[in-house]
A and B are shown apart, each in its own frame.
Chain A
């Protein structure tokens, strides 16, 4: 059962890689200036060399042949060269990935800590005033564009990780609060209360485990949110990560760079969602 689930996720990842690769290759192939080669302007090249260059370009005109070349190169770690920055995409990604990983990792940890602290206290206290207050705070952050939160973090000299946390926090809080409230309405909680079990014990022994597997699914989705939030935060806070690289590539219409980043980000978010799903499945199996 579990092996089947893992195999299904692996298959989905592979399919995404293949479809994403085809889309990436198509976009790169049809990008403006694809057929242009600076070498063709070199007066030192002979007519035969020019002919050979044109023949090589002509081979790449067939989209499926180009796709095969592209995938073959990608498998060997060659993701092409950035048009705007003139550097190999692989080098650019390798240089910038650590910063984005740190930013997203710390931002997610802070967002989850704040969201769970508020959601758990709201579920434990169950007073309408506290619930209204926390919902209002998270609702306000939900109504502010991510890019504005990034700008405000620059203005108030706050680290980028906090901006990411503030972007992700209201989404996580909303789900967590609703799931805990739903778990509280289960009959076994009522039975536990009738038997005189303390509120804290009910919360951690009878409510959190019920909402746990659903919260794991939210954890997978929150990775996608945090990666998305990295674009405005890195772009506007001047942090040289993958989000800033994607933004620069979009402004420069650097398609080889942009589509490779997009495929990479899709894989990362799919991996996070699959991981959350598999762990959730394992937890449910263990409970059963």
Chain B
């Protein structure tokens, strides 16, 4: 493992541990309002200051990080499973099925990702409970983010379909589901892992975009998207630099993911 990879791994472990220890590091929680200290600068009691309604920014960053870092992998798991099912099966079956699946995939891929997300998000009610909004946002990412992975998996499964060991298994009388799950799927594992890991930073960034546009996680629940929305109120870049800390953390985490899983990206390509 190179030095950069080790560093990225250490950063990710540190951030994940800090976010998991949020209730211990910030026991007052993300929603408690300090009405006497609204929009306060960093101090000994509030390390990153408070927001405009007096909530501790450090606590919100920790809890927001926890939400993004736990649910982005969950969404990646859903999208990878769907990609394996749709792309893998289409590639394995080949013929009309592969053409049909890829036509649907191409249709999805032709839509800009953010357009697709906001169009589908708009179909759901916007005034929902914070917990529902968190689940809806990440479920949406998982259910819509399978397309590019499905394309890769379809090609990989297609190349496996005509491989010698599959022909041999078929000659031995193995058919249908058993052939797919026992002989084809295990050989798609490297591609599946790659797709899973490269989906995580994409989903983290997508949640942030939706949050800033007001279509993501609902208040008072924090997420990187809702934390970054605070930048909207700034008048100049030099003013209140501590408000840029969630952005800095997001960039560091996404960069760490990209450094750590750049090899996986090559496998996916």
Contacts and interface: CB of A to CB of B under 8 A. Distances in A.
Nearest to A143: B254
B112 A253 contact: no
Contacts of B235: 155
Contacts of B228: 145, 147-148, 151
B177 interface: no
B168 interface: no
B209 A145 contact: yes
B212 A250 contact: no
B111 A262 contact: yes
Contacts of A247: 118, 213
B236 interface: yes
Interface in A216-237: 224-225, 227-229, 231-232, 235-236
Contact of A253 (B115, B126, B247): B126
Interface residues of A, number: 43
Nearest to B257: A143
Contact of B122 (A19, A156, A249): A249
Interface in A172-223: none
Given A16-B110, A262-B119, A269-B111, A145 B205 contact: yes
Contacts of A118: none
A147 B213 contact: yes
Contacts of B119: 246, 250, 258-259, 262
A121 B248 CA distance: 30
Query: Secondary structure at chain A's binding surface: helix, strand, loop or mixed?
Result: helix
B250 interface: yes
Contacts of A159: none
B112 A228 contact: yes
Contact of A140 (B103, B107, B212, B251): B251
Query: Secondary structure at chain B's binding surface: helix, strand, loop or mixed?
Result: helix
Given A146-B209, A151-B232, A255 B114 contact: no
A236 to B, nearest CB: 7
A89 interface: no
A143 B258 contact: yes
Contacts of B118: 231, 246-247, 250, 258
B220 interface: no
Given A16-B107, A147-B228, A251-B215, A269 B112 contact: yes
Contact of B231 (A16, A148, A265): A148
Contacts of A27: 123
B113 interface: yes
Most chain A Cβ neighbours within 10 Å, of B110, B116, B123, B126: B110
Nearest to B125: A253
B213 A235 contact: yes
A270 interface: yes
A251 B126 contact: yes
B236 A155 contact: yes
A101 interface: no
A148 B237 CA distance: 13
B28 interface: no
A22 interface: no
A224 B113 CA distance: 9
Most chain A Cβ neighbours within 10 Å, of B114, B116, B125: B114
A125 interface: no
Interface of B: 103, 106-107, 110-116, 118-119, 121-123, 125-126, 201, 205, 208-209, 212-215, 225, 228, 231-232, 234-237, 247, 250-251, 254-255, 258
20 contacts: A12-B103, A12-B106, A140-B251, A143-B251, A144-B251, A148-B208, A148-B228, A152-B231, A155-B237, A224-B112, A225-B112, A229-B114, A231-B115, A232-B114, A232-B209, A232-B213, A251-B122, A255-B122, A259-B119, A265-B112
Given A145-B212, A227-B112, A255-B123, 4 more contacts: A148-B228, A152-B231, A246-B119, A249-B122
